[in-house]
Amino acid sequence: MEIVVTLEQLREALSSWRSEKKTIALVPTMGALHAGHLALVEEASRRADRVVVSIFVNPLQFGPNEDFSQYPRTLSLDQAQLKRHGLASVLFAPTVSVMYPSGASRTTVVVGRMSEVLCGRARPTHFVGVTTVVTKLFHMVQPDFAVFGQKDAQQLAIIRQMVLDLNFAVTVVGVPTVREPSGLALSSRNRYLSIEDKHRASYLFRGLLAAKSLFDAGERNPQVLVAQVIDTLHQVDLTPEYVECVDRELLDPVDGLVSRPVTLALACPVGAARLIDNITLDPGHHE
């Protein structure tokens, strides 16, 4: 596996693959890699001949009072982990000045209303940062496939919409959330949690599963499903930032009863971290 930092180095690798007609999958990350990231790399390598993993802690997607400066940066460990894993062809780890050559970006990519709901309410500039940097990565790598985790369901829906709206020639692939045995979704920010925090954090998924049990037993009222999640979180004194039932693709709040596939999504502060999780509830799907 080659590690590249500049665009010149990246283009050199890409042009040799293109001349060999190899397909390319991109896995964008912020590093501090865990088994969830590796699942994306595995899916990428099933889809395409060559896999580019990017690691870039994107300043544009952090708010002014967020954890940009404290965010874990473990590039040499990440590099060793990817090498051992054996499926990535190139690790692209640009510096901030490679990614933002003029300093502050004067151009941004805005998907609009979908970026303002759910996490967008507490993080009003976050998704503009994400869609701008992902657009830049798509231009740099021109991948055939781009792989994202369903843990970040809002991000995945926004990127799918952006790819449609801007006619990007890339197939967006979503990968199911990888979890700890407790149910806690793996996340780089889990390293902010104590053992006690991690126990309480496992109630995020427990609450989503409790709502799913009601749903599977026929409950279709989104308010009842949301209340079940909130009650479960209260058992360990957690107060969510939001719990919402939204349309899976456009993220609109469910109006009336659940009659199409929905995402039941939440964000919740736990200790020093702000965690997110979600599940899909599909009324057409019977187990």
List the one residue out of 116, 188, 195 whose CA is nearest residue 149.
Answer: 188
Residue 280 tokens read as 């899909």
**What is the layout of strands, in order, in the sheet containing 171-175?**
2-4, 90-92, 50-55, 24-29, 145-149, 171-175
Query: Which residue among 34, 37, 285, 286 is the active-site one?
Result: 37
Stretch that binds ligand ATP, among 16-24, 43-51, 131-139, 144-152 (CB under 6 A): 144-152
Instruction: Single out the residue of 7, 87, 186, 230 in contact with ligand ATP (rule: CB under 6 A).
Output: 186
Stretch that binds ligand ATP, among 18-26, 164-172, 177-185, 217-225 (CB under 6 A): 177-185
Told to check if 152 binds ligand ATP by CB under 6 A, we report yes
Q: What φ, ψ does residue 105 adopt, rounded to 5°? A: -75, 125
Q: Is 139 a catalytic residue?
A: no
Q: Nearest distance from residue 175's CB to ligand ATP, in Å? A: 5
Residues in Cβ contact with 228 at an 8 Å cutoff, skipping those fewer than 6 apart: 207, 210, 211, 214
Angle (nearest 5°) at CA 160 between 169 and 226: 170
Tell me how many residues contact ligand ATP (CB under 6 A): 18
Find where tokens 């000045």 sit: 97
Separation CA 107–CA 99 (nearest Å): 13
Residue 94 or 149 with smaller CB distance to ligand ATP: 149
137 binds ligand ATP (CB under 6 A): no
Interaction of residue 115 with ligand ATP, rule CB under 6 A: no
Please list the active-site residues. 37
Site residues for ligand ATP per CB under 6 A: 29-30, 36-37, 39-40, 148-149, 151-152, 175, 177-178, 185-189
